[in-house]
């Protein structure tokens, strides 16, 4: 199940890197925001995680991906501990 995967991933990070690095929240999504050249736009992920305005998304191949991620965060589907 999704919850089991999230817990397993948290434990893996804690074992491999250390408990201090264990993520508080993990969100499993079908797709990440990517530019037309295929690079993941990490800035947008940080912005949405910190509840900041997204700014320029014109270089995304599919801007609806960010809408889905924001929607999952607002509905609590983020795998919080």
Reported as a single tens digit per residue, the pLDDT across 9-57 is 999 999 999 999 998 888 888 899 999 999 999 999 989 888 899 888 8
- The total number of structural domains that make up the chain: 1
Structural domain includes residue 57: yes
Asked if 33 and 45 touch (Cβ cutoff 8 Å), the reply is yes
Structural domain includes residue 13: yes
Structural domain includes residue 80: no
Expressed as residue numbers, the domain containing 38 is: 2-74
Structural domain includes residue 81: no
Structural domain includes residue 79: no
- Residues facing residue 80 across a β-bridge: 25
Assign residue 14 the CATH number of its domain: 3.30.300.30
Q: What is the dihedral angle through the alpha carbons of 10, 19, 49, 31, rounded to the nearest 10 degrees?
A: -30
Rounded to two decimals, the pTM is: 0.69
Helix (H, G, I), strand (E, B) or coil at 80: strand
Closest by CA to 49, choosing from 18, 23, 31, is 23
Residue 65: how many CB atoms within 10 A of its CB? Answer: 19
Assign 81 a pLDDT band (cuts: 50, 70, 90): very low
């Amino acid at each position: 199940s999704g919850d089991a995967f999230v817990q397993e991933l948290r434990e893996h990070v804690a074992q491999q890197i250390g408990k201090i690095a264990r993520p508080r929240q993990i969100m499993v999504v079908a797709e990440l925001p990517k530019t037309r050249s295929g690079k993941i736009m990490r800035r947008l992920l940080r912005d949405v995680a910190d509840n900041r305005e997204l700014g320029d998304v014109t270089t995304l191949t599919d801007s609806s991906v960010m809408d889905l991620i924001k929607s999952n965060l607002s509905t609590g589907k983020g795998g919080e501990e």
